[in-house]
């Protein structure tokens, strides 16, 4: 199977290549794509070097799957062009997520919605993915009434220029800034752009995307998204009220048995999830589980995941795996594997 990775030189794109190789995705030809300035450069994949090609060359080679992580405007312009030549696009940007004709997929939750006519499939925002993976089974059991989320987001979510800003500041070297303020020794309550309602786009992604993935358009959700000088992954403090009553022990059991979730919750031994040890892992880690003593049927939890893995690359590759497994890709045979 021919696979194009669009944005192959970026933070997510590089992890995408690692995840495809690790999971032995059936690839006969890898087509790495980046901006014009990177065409001709090399990226490594499964121990071999591959040359970056232009978007036009990638479209001309008609890959069966194109996984995009190159920003919203690139996706808006080029995803339909790949779809027009028969490719299935899995898009990691926010360009198509809220389009009512496009599916927004977290495989553990709603991959069954996918059909062979879905040619542009949206991968949710990193903060949303870890939140809904953690909450899906609790929502099914107790029905979420309202969520209050505060995020503590890694600079890797902004891309390689943001990681560079943090390392320049840490080394006291002058360099370009992608954030409006210094990020080292700081936290910035501003992720993505501000909207007319005073929230940031990142905060509203948590609201709209969670509702769409759960198929619960009325869900009450409010969020504050904060960028912190961390590289490993995103953390979220989540306060969730349910319609039904629960026992904390049952909540913990449900989480322990949720696909993709690892519970790390032994306060007496100082065990709780942190971005530091989520880095490079695919799971969503949950801890600090406790009843909110100030409100009925409500819990507090702490949710951590590597935003480049389950929050982006791993989720996209899992979507691709589902498509292959369920014969939803426009291809005759999977001829060769890496």
Give the Å distances, CA to CA, from 1 to 52, 329, 331.
18, 10, 8
70 near ligand A2P (CB under 6 A): yes
How many residues are there in the chain?
338
35 near ligand A2P (CB under 6 A): yes
Distance CA(156)–CA(166), nearest Å, equals: 10
Distance CA(58)–CA(321), nearest Å, equals: 21
- For the question of residue 126 being annotated catalytic, the response is yes
∠ CA 86-92-95, rounded to 5°: 85
**Among residues 62, 159, 216, 237, the one that binds ligand A2P under rule CB under 6 A:** 159
Give the Å distances, CA to CA, from 248 to 180, 227, 241, 274.
42, 31, 13, 22
Closest CB to ligand A2P among residues 55, 251: 55
Which residue's CB comes closest to ligand A2P? 10
Closest CB to ligand A2P among residues 89, 261: 89
- For the question of residue 112 being annotated catalytic, the response is no
Q: Please state whether beta strands 298-305 and 2-6 pair in parallel, antiparallel, or not at all (unpaired).
A: unpaired
The stretch among 9-17, 186-194, 280-288, 295-303 that binds ligand A2P (CB under 6 A) is 9-17
Q: Which of 112, 208, 234, 277 is catalytic?
A: 234
151 near ligand A2P (CB under 6 A): no
**Among residues 10, 63, 107, 275, the one that binds ligand A2P under rule CB under 6 A:** 10
11 near ligand A2P (CB under 6 A): yes
Closest CB to ligand A2P among residues 69, 151: 69
The site for ligand A2P, by CB under 6 A, has a size of 19
165 near ligand A2P (CB under 6 A): no
Residues 6+ apart with CB under 8 A from 300: 237, 238, 239, 288, 289, 290, 291, 292
The stretch among 125-133, 157-165, 259-267, 282-290 that binds ligand A2P (CB under 6 A) is 157-165
**Among residues 15, 18, 30, 38, the one that binds ligand A2P under rule CB under 6 A:** 38
Q: Kindly state the helix (H) or strand (E) to which residue 223 belongs, with its residue range.
A: strand 220-227
∠ CA 84-86-88, rounded to 5°: 100
Q: Please state whether beta strands 65-68 and 120-122 pair in parallel, antiparallel, or not at all (unpaired).
A: unpaired
Q: Which residues bind ligand A2P (CB under 6 A)?
A: 6-11, 13, 33-35, 37-38, 55, 70-71, 74, 159-161
* Residues carrying an active site annotation: 126, 234
């Amino acid at each position: 199977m021919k696979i194009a990775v669009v944005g192959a030189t970026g933070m997510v794109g590089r992890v995408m290549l690692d995840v495809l190789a690790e999971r032995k995705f059936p690839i006969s030809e890898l087509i790495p794509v980046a901006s014009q300035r990177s065409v001709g450069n090399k990226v490594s994949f499964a121990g071999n070097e591959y040359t970056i090609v232009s978007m036009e060359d990638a479209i001309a080679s008609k890959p069966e799957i194109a996984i995009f992580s190159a920003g919203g405007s690139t996706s808006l312009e080029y995803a339909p062009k790949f779809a027009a030549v028969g490719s299935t696009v899995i898009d990691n940007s926010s360009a198509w997520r809220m389009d009512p004709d496009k599916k927004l997929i977290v495989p553990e939750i709603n991959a069954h919605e996918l059909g062979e006519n879905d040619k542009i499939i949206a991968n949710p925002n990193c903060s949303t993915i870890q939140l809904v993976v953690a909450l899906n089974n609790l929502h099914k059991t107790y029905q979420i009434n309202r969520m209050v989320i505060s995020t503590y987001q890694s600079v890797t979510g902004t891309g390689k220029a943001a990681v560079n800003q943090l390392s320049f500041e840490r080394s006291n070297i002058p360099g370009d800034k992608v954030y409006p303020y210094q990020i080292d020794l700081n936290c910035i309550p501003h992720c993505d752009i501000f909207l007319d309602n005073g929230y940031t786009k990142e905060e509203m992604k948590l609201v709209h995307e969670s509702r769409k993935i759960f198929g619960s358009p009325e869900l009450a959700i409010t969020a504050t998204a904060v960028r912190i000088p961390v590289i490993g992954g995103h953390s979220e403090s989540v306060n969730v009220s349910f319609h039904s009553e629960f026992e904390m022990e049952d909540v913990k059991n449900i989480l322990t048995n949720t696909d993709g979730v690892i519970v790390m919750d032994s306060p007496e031994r100082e065990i709780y999830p942190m971005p530091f040890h989520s880095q490079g892992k695919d799971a969503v880690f949950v801890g600090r589980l406790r009843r909110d003593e100030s409100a009925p049927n409500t819990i507090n939890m702490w949710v951590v995941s590597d935003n480049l893995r389950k929050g982006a690359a791993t989720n996209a590759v899992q979507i691709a795996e589902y498509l292959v497994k369920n014969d939803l890709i426009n291809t005759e045979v999977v001829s060769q594997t890496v």
